[in-house]
């Protein structure tokens, strides 16, 4: 039996619930009722349970741009910044049904306000707010660099008490268990109380992580660290959706559209072999050469920013379980890190990256670009459908290459 | 917008596919049911003119992936029955099918979705990449790692 048929048989018992269609038709009827209310204007939408996609277009207020001292302290760290410990829930339960957790230590660094004002001047924008149903969702400030790395601060406030929403004090970025298993990607760990960020239109995407600043029964303050990617055109705006729940069944979405600031400039560093590192005050983006044989399958155990004064910032794991970058993402072989501190690119001497890459090689040992290692094979009959497939090119063998890169200006 | 008859036929044809993919992402029957309902609701409401059944299927998969990501990031994920309870309700032809199912579900989420689209739905690496919105190289890597992990898990299970 083929590998494909075995997996098909193993997954075959998964079926949608019997009442799926019935529920969908009920949703359709509710949707018709909402449309009717909109048309007649006899009532407010709040009297009807509606799907999460309902966006309330309400009063949106633009904030004035002001001093950013507090903003920089929130984003990068104030004088009290240091190590904090969190229990990160894992997607795993023990035999007694208790969710397993892992202790994570996050590390912050106090921001140098003078440097922040100098390197990010002009790249911070004021936010906006939306108020509905006694709840105000506000983005206070946003900062971005043109390597796509940035952050924003937001609050959700309700004088009469916030809707019953789950609040977490977790913070996480891109890190590994000691057995090499990464647990950051693809939202496998749901990010609680965080807004969703979208680039309007069909453009790029945003990867984000939230760090809670404070939470009371009437107000939540938090920071979103983000990396924009996937589109070469710099976006003009960012859509921010806040989801608030009133009946613990369906959340309502409150949407803000933020005009983006002029991005902070990136300093491009290069290393032998066609590797590129785009450095901004907020983070680093490493791009492999176009003909790289590794795809995404490369990594660095040691990524160090060397400063001109001789000091260092070790971006990845400084010690086991310590997270000293805010966000790490991988997309098409491009890796991004959002720093946990402000880095003045002018004060950077070099960046070193030591790790390894896994790819394929020809019989003569020549590396094969990853996208040329896989070829289409004869269509295969699966069930009653002919399907195309891809296989590793014949004659190729796996290779593991040590990477020892030094990026300089 | 589809006629009610055409929508019903499409919903019946694709709802298990949507559920299977959603379950692979969410590992929760309740969440996967929610996702399935929302995706079918989107199908009912869309004005998109589908060129073929394959076009509709690909659209449904994209919507399902987006819906699952939204649910994963939502503060209001439903915590229903333990996964094991649901698994015990599933009927497998052979005991080894159950072992393989458990091994697939033990994979990281990004690998599970690739497994479902590549192996179950029969899409190529390039098509899977398009559906998931990631580069083909990423799909290739995830498939290779998933295979490696499955092999390891099943080998370990045999040794016990």
- Find residues 28-67 of chain B whose CB sits inside 8 Å of chain A: 29, 32-33, 36-38, 40-41, 44-45
pLDDT class of A330 with cuts at 50, 70, 90: low
Residue A189 has pLDDT above 70, yes or no: no
Cβ of residue B134 closer than 8 Å to a chain A Cβ: yes
Residue A125 has pLDDT above 80, yes or no: yes
* Length of chain A counted residue by residue: 409
Helices B125-132/B136-159 angle, 10° precision: 110
pLDDT class of A253 with cuts at 50, 70, 90: low
Which is higher by pLDDT, A350 or A185? A350
User: Which chain B residue has its CA at the smallest distance from A2's CA?
Assistant: B119
- Per the CB < 8 A criterion, the answer to whether A362 and B97 are in contact is no
Average pLDDT over residues A89-112: 65
pLDDT class of A271 with cuts at 50, 70, 90: very high
Mean pLDDT of chain B: 83
Q: Which two tokens stand for residue A142?
A: 């946003």
Q: Which two tokens stand for residue A89?
A: 């829930």
- Test mutation, B75, B92, B138, chain A, max A CBs within 10 A: B75
SS3 string, chain A, reads: CCHHHHHHHHHCCCCCCCCHHHHHHHHHHHHHHHHHHHHHCCCCHHHCCCCCCCEECCCEEECCCCCCHHHHHHHHCCCCCCEEEEEEEEEEECCCCCEEEEEEEEECCCCCHHHHHHHHCCCEEEEEEEEECCEEEEEEEEEEECCCEEEEEEEEECCCCCCCCCCCCCCCCCCECCCCCECCHHHCCCCCCCCEEECCCCCCEEEEEEEEEEECCCEEEEEEEEEEECCCCCCCEEEEEEEEECCCCCEEEEEEEEECCCCECCEEEEECCCEEEEECCCEEEEECCCCCCCCCCEEEEEEEEEECCCCEEECCCCCCCEECEEEEEEECCEEEEEECCCCCHHHEEEEEEEEEEEEEECCCCCEECHHHHEEEEEEEEECCEEEEEEEECCCCEEEEEEEEEEEEC
Longest dimension (CA), chain B: 55
pLDDT (tens digit per residue) in B39-91 = 998 888 877 778 788 888 888 998 888 888 777 765 455 555 677 888 888 98
Q: In what order do the strands lie in the sheet with A196-198?
A: A55-56, A251-259, A237-245, A196-198
User: Which chain B residue has its CA at the smallest distance from A15's CA?
Assistant: B16
pTM above 0.80, yes or no: no
Report the percent of chain A where pLDDT is more than 70: 63
User: Which chain B residue has its CA at the smallest distance from A293's CA?
Assistant: B137
pLDDT (tens digit per residue) in A170-182 = 333 333 232 323 3
At A102 the pLDDT is: 64
- Test mutation, B137, B146, B147, B154, chain A, max A CBs within 10 A: B137
Most confident of A195-204, A265-274, A383-392, B22-31: A265-274
CA distance B56 to chain A (A): 16
Do A166 and B37 make contact, defined as CB atoms within 8 angstroms?
Answer: no
Query: How many Cβ pairs within 8 Å bridge chains A and B?
Result: 175
Closest CB to B119 among A8, A15, A52: A8
- DSSP labels for A82-100? -EEEEEEEEEEE-TTSPEE
Do B33 and A373 make contact, defined as CB atoms within 8 angstroms?
Answer: no
Do B36 and A10 make contact, defined as CB atoms within 8 angstroms?
Answer: no
- Find residues 92-131 of chain B whose CB sits inside 8 Å of chain A: 92-94, 97-98, 100-101, 104, 108-110, 115-116, 119-120, 122-127
Do B82 and A376 make contact, defined as CB atoms within 8 angstroms?
Answer: no
- DSSP labels for A200-217? STT--EEEEEEEEEEE-S
Report the percent of chain B where pLDDT is more than 70: 91
At B62 the pLDDT is: 85
Provide the 8-state DSSP code for A273: T
In which element (H, E) is residue A23 found? helix A20-40
pLDDT (tens digit per residue) in A368-391 = 887 788 777 666 655 555 555 667
Do B75 and A166 make contact, defined as CB atoms within 8 angstroms?
Answer: yes
Task: Tell me how far apart the alpha carbons of residues A15 and A32 are, in angstroms, rounded to a whole number.
Answer: 28
Tell me the sheet residues that pair with A278.
A268, A285
Closest CB to B125 among A8, A374, A380: A374
Residue A292 has pLDDT above 80, yes or no: yes
């Amino acid at each position: 039996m083929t590998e494909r048929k075995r997996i098909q048989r193993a997954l075959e018992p998964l079926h949608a619930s019997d009442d799926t269609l019935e529920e969908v038709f009920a949703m359709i009827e509710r949707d018709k009722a909402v449309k009717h209310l909109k048309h007649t204007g006899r009532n407010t939408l709040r009297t009807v349970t509606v799907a999460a996609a309902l966006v309330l277009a309400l009063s949106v207020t633009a904030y004035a741009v002001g001093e950013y001292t507090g903003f920089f302290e929130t984003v990068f760290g104030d004088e009290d910044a240091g190590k904090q410990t969190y229990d990160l829930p894992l997607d795993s339960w023990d035999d007694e049904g208790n969710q397993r957790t892992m202790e994570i230590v996050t590390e912050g660094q106090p921001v140098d306000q003078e440097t922040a004002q100098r390197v990010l001047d002009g790249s911070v924008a004021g936010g906006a707010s939306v108020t509905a149903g006694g709840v105000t969702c506000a983005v206070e400030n946003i900062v971005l660099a043109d390597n796509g790395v940035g952050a924003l601060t937001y609050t959700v406030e309700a004088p009469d008490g916030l809707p019953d929403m789950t609040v977490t004090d977790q913070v996480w970025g891109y890190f590994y268990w000691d057995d090499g298993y990464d647990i950051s990607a693809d939202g496998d760990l749901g990010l609680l109380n965080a807004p969703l960020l979208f680039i309007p239109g069909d453009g790029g995407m945003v990867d984000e992580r939230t760090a809670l600043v404070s939470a009371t029964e009437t107000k939540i303050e938090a920071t979103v660290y983000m990396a924009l990617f996937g589109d070469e055109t710099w976006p003009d705006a960012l859509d921010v959706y806040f989801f608030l729940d009133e009946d613990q069944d369906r959340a309502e979405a409150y949407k803000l559209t933020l005009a983006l600031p002029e991005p902070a400039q990136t300093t491009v560093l290069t290393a032998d072999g066609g590797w590129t590192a785009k450095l901004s005050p907020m983070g680093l983006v490493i791009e492999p050469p176009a003909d790289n044989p590794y795809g995404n399958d490369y990594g660095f155990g040691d990524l160090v920013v060397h400063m001109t004064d001789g000091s260092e910032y070790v971006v990845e794991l400084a010690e086991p379980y310590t997270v000293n970058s805010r966000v790490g993402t991988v997309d098409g072989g491009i890796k991004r890190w959002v720093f946990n501190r402000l880095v003045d690119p002018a004060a950077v001497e070099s960046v070193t990256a030591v790790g390894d890459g896994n790819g394929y090689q020809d019989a003569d040992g020549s590396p094969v670009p990853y996208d040329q290692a896989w070829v289409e094979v004869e269509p295969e009959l699966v069930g009653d459908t002919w399907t195309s497939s891809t296989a590793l090119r014949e004659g190729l063998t796996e290779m593991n290459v040590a990477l020892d890169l030094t990026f300089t200006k | 917008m589809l006629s009610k008859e055409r929508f019903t036929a499409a919903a019946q044809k694709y709802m298990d596919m949507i559920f299977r993919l959603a379950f692979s992402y969410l590992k929760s029957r309740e969440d996967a049911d929610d996702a399935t309902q929302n995706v079918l609701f989107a199908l009912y409401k869309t004005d998109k003119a589908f060129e073929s059944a394959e076009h509709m299927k690909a659209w449904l998969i994209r919507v399902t992936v987006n819906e699952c990501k939204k649910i994963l990031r939502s503060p209001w994920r439903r915590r229903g029955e333990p996964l094991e309870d649901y698994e015990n309700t599933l009927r497998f032809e052979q005991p080894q099918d159950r072992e393989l199912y458990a091994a697939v579900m033990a994979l990281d989420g990004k690998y599970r979705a690739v497994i479902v689209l590549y192996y179950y739905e029969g899409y190529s690496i390039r098509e899977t990449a398009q559906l998931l919105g990631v580069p083909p190289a990423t799909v290739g890597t995830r498939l290779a790692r998933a295979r490696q992990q499955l092999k390891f898990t099943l080998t370990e299970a045999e040794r016990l």
